[in-house]
Structure 1
Amino acid sequence: MTDAPAPDDIALYFTRSDGTYLCARWGRPIAPVVFGVEDATLATVKGAFEAVAELAGHEIAETDPELGSNVMMFFFRDWQELLGVPNLDRLIEGLGPLVERLEAADANQYRVFRFDDQGAIRACFVFLRVDEELSKVSADTLALSQVVQTMLLWSDLAFTERSPLARLEDGRTVLKPEVAAILRAAYDPVMPAVARDTSHALRLHARLTAGRLA
């Protein structure tokens, strides 16, 4: 078993490119919906949500009383397709300019979070342009990677050069042990739903250490 990551290493997962520290978790049950995939892929994505939510100890609901679905995941081939989604411009402010920026950057994924009055996550919109690169990724790998990135507000740099996933010798794809441990610790009931100070990383480390000793 590997050692628990040091507090400084944990802090890197939530230290943003502007130097600020911010970690937020969901403040309500998640109610996901997926658009643009076949039934087999839909089942894979739903299974990923269920597995990661169970790991975190967080609830999945059929519907959200405010939004109906509070996690919306879109699969498509061209960013322009988003402009044709009914009422999406009401949910995503500045959708047109956003699409232009993502096209210019040749991006293949983007996430938008919404927060409640306390700063906890209340909604997440995931956009995946299935280009040549994403087409090479298996459905279970892509689903698990995206779902874990919706469960917490990670740093915008957290997974730019490293994946949250690992491949086992038998070929299965799983969350890296330290990512899974941090996720589980962040959802510990004693932890705050939102934190903006690096002392939060010390508390996460304490939870990880306590879990190893339990």
Structure 2
Amino acid sequence: MISSEGVEALFTRADGSYLFARWGRPIVPVVFGTDDKTLEIVKGAVEAVVMMAGHQMAETDPELGVNLMFFFFREWDELLEVPDMDRMIPDLGPLVARLKAAEANQYRIFRFDEAGAIKASFVFLRMDDQLSKVPADTLALAQVAQTILLWSDTAFTDRSVLAQAGEGQVILRPDIGAVIRAGYDPVMPAVAQDASHALRLSARLGQM
């Protein structure tokens, strides 16, 4: 099981600040730029992770309509052609330029409510040669797991959010699943900026 220091590291950002946030409303996903089969795989992954977390999904968000958006595409410039995308993502042009320069193949953006809980997320996946080789169910599970909480920007740089469970089978890492369930414990806050929160999370891991 992951140590309390390990839990703290999952939410400690590169600048040293601690920030935890979970979704404060039911999740309503939508998928753009892929076929029906992949769409069902992504939505199935959302349902599985949300259920594991003990959170909820809904048919529509009263404020936004949908609040978890997945975009599959080949080149970052395609985002500039999506109607109203520049209204949803401020400074879209400079962002696309930075992602192209970094040769990034994925990027996630979060939006927060007045209390600081997650109210929306955008998941961008540029299907380059690397991502195109990843099975759709593996890719979907990894992206949903990284969107269900506001993890540190360095949380999964050295180790994947997923683990091998057998030949050809990939699952969510059990320790990460336990952290997600602890994070959604009703007695825990939806937002935390003090590292003592990690101790509270850690204390619940054995109960998850």
| TM-score relative to the length of structure 2 | 0.98
* Letter in structure 1 aligned against 2:191: V
Task: Report the Cα distance in structure 2 between the residues aligned to 1:15 and 1:204, rounded to whole angstroms.
Answer: 14
SS class of match (1:151):
coil
The equivalent residue for 2:7 is: 10
Task: Report the Cα distance in structure 1 between the residues aligned to 2:19 and 2:157, rounded to whole angstroms.
Answer: 17
* Letter in structure 2 aligned against 1:103: K
Match among 38, 42, 47 for residue 45 of structure 1: 42
The equivalent residue for 1:199 is: 196
Task: Report the Cα distance in structure 2 between the residues aligned to 1:34 and 1:40, rounded to whole angstroms.
Answer: 11
Matched, 1:178 2:175: yes
The equivalent residue for 1:110 is: 107
Match among 68, 87, 103 for residue 90 of structure 1: 87
Task: Report the Cα distance in structure 2 between the residues aligned to 1:49 and 1:174, rounded to whole angstroms.
Answer: 14
The equivalent residue for 1:27 is: 24
Match among 117, 120, 125 for residue 122 of structure 2: 125
Task: Report the Cα distance in structure 1 between the residues aligned to 2:61 and 2:197, rounded to whole angstroms.
Answer: 29
SS class of match (1:107):
coil
Match among 142, 153, 156 for residue 156 of structure 1: 153
State the identity %: 64
Task: Report the Cα distance in structure 2 between the residues aligned to 1:92 and 1:169, rounded to whole angstroms.
Answer: 40
Structure 1 segment 64-103 matched on structure 2, within 5 A: 64-103=61-100
Aligned-pair Cα RMSD in Å: 0.8
Shift of 1:44: 0.5
* Letter in structure 1 aligned against 2:14: S
* Letter in structure 2 aligned against 1:70: N
Match among 151, 162, 168 for residue 165 of structure 2: 168
Task: Report the Cα distance in structure 1 between the residues aligned to 2:192 and 2:12, rounded to whole angstroms.
Answer: 11
Give unpaired runs (5+ residues) of structure 1.
none
Match among 123, 140, 145 for residue 143 of structure 1: 140
Task: Report the Cα distance in structure 1 between the residues aligned to 2:77 and 2:207, rounded to whole angstroms.
Answer: 48
Shift of 1:92: 0.4
